[in-house]
Each structure stands twice: as C-alpha cells, then as structure tokens.
Chain A
Amino acid sequence: MTIADKLRLIASNVQKVFDSGKKEERAAFWDGLQENGNRVNYANAFYKWSGDIFYPTRNFNCTQANSMFQFFNQYGGTGNPNFDLSTRLTECGVTLNFGGCSSLTSTFYYVRSTSVPEIDARKCTNFSTMFAYAYIETIEKIILNDTGASQNFTNMFQNCSRLKNITFEGIIGNSMDVHWASQLTVESLRSILKALSTNGSGKAITFATASRAIIESDTECIQYATAAKSAGWTFAYN
C-alpha cells in the first residue's frame, strides 16, 4: 500500500473512529448513571432532561420513580415534538419496569412524548399527578392490582388534554377523573369502564362531556357502565 493509500484509508476511518469513541463514551456515561443496571431509585432522575440525549443502556428496575420524568422533553415547551419514549426505549433495547414502586407521583408530570410504554403498577397505590400536564397521546397500558385497594388517583390525568389512547388492566378501585382527556377513543373508554371495581359505593368516575355521547351509545360501554352504576359508581360528565 502506498503512503497515499494509507492516508486515504486513515481519512476514511476518521468518522467511524470518532463515532465509535462517542458511542463508547455515551455507553460509559449511561452505565455509570444506571449503576450498571443496579440502580433502583430513579426519583427525579430525568427532571427537565431533553429526549434528544436519552439513550439508556440498561433496563430500568425502579423501586422509586416519583417525578422520574418530570418536565422530560417539555421544559419551556421546546422539547422535540416528535420524540416518543416507547420508541426510544425499544431502540435502546431496554425496558422500563415500575413493578417495585408503591408510588408513581408525578412520574410523567409535564412529559412530552407521543406515547408512554406499558406500566406495571400492581404494587402502586399512589398515582397522584402521575400524568398531570403531560403532552402524551398514548399510554400503552397501565396494569393495576387485582383488588383496587387503597388507590389514590388524585389529579392523575390533570390537564392531560392530548390523551387519546389508554388501556387499563386490573381494577380501578377509587374515584378517578379523566375529564381533561376529551379525545379518548371508544376503546379507551371501554377499557376504563371495564376496569371499574365491583365495589363502587361512594365513588365516582368523571369523564369529559365529549365522552358522554360515546359512553351512552356504544354497546360495550353501555354494558360496563350499567354494571358500574349498579355497583355504586356515579358518573360525572364535566
């Protein structure tokens, strides 16, 4: 190989070497941040972070996640409007596991993301302001416990006006207000209604006025709503 050829080869690899170095540096940063996968306390971990720098390398196995993504990708309204947390986690090959959390207060407060992945909330009882002011269209699934015991849903969806799609598994055992989410699909409404506890005495589910037409005309919604009202749930349309 001539010297010129060698120099051309070196020049052609400069970008690859640079990118590789950057990738290694980034991986080292994330390994440190996530304590090589051993970190479990993620409270406030990504407060005001931009989605553009979010490249985790390890699964999140959280026992504490209050305000974990508070103001994530949203602070000041300048967040990347196309950012999707679910997609980014998949791209990074990592999962977000809240199975160890008893509280998810403000976990996604003011987050801007097209969607949020499945949330195992079976151990959680405190959901207050969990998605308050979140700029989210889809919450893939929230898995609640099978009893509905001791749940606090205060302002869980406060000002969640962009929310269209949500699926629940498990039992909604306490009053919940989703009236800010006026664009909920019929499938989402069915899911909420189906999840309402068979003990609804003294409890209320509040929907947007816009949802009432769907709930009172869709056959499945009517079936679930009738059962819920018989069980004591009061429906408010606000």
Chain B
Amino acid sequence: MKIYASEGTRLTNGVIFGKVIDLGAGDSPDNYHEISETEYQKIIGGDVDEFNNDLP
C-alpha cells in the first residue's frame, strides 16, 4: 500500500522521510504523519556542503 504526501509536505514516522511511502508488511499508514517542507528542512538542517559540492 502506498501513501502520498500532500503538495509541499513530506511524510515521516519520525525516522524516515518521503513524498511517497510504500508500506512494507507490518507497517501502517497510522505510523506516518505529514510535516511541512520548512519543518523537513529544519530537521535535516546541517546538511550543508561547505565546499559547494555542485562541481562540474
């Protein structure tokens, strides 16, 4: 079963994040809730490439 995040949000169970979650056996949609993109970016904040890894 797949569950989908609304536009501008992500799904999370507190550990993993995704725009689409394809539930494995034993997992449940009840384990997931939506968070805003802003919240998501705050949570993963610190994911900064200080050397600008976007090199050619």
Contacts and interface: CB of A to CB of B under 8 A. Distances in A.
Q: Do A and B come from one complex?
A: yes
Interface of A: 74-77, 81, 110, 133, 135, 158-159, 161, 175, 177, 200-204, 206, 209, 212, 228-238
Q: Which of B16, B17, B19, B20 has the most CB of A within 10 A?
A: B16
B55 interface: yes
Interface residues of B, number: 23
Interface string B8-33: 00110001111111111111000000
A159 B47 contact: yes
Q: Which of A135, A231, A235, A236 has the most CB of B within 10 A?
A: A236
B20 A236 contact: yes
B25 A231 contact: yes
A201 B26 contact: yes
18 contacts: A77-B52, A77-B55, A135-B53, A158-B47, A159-B47, A159-B53, A161-B53, A161-B54, A201-B24, A228-B24, A229-B23, A232-B27, A234-B16, A234-B27, A236-B16, A237-B18, A238-B10, A238-B16
B49 A159 contact: yes
B51 A206 contact: no
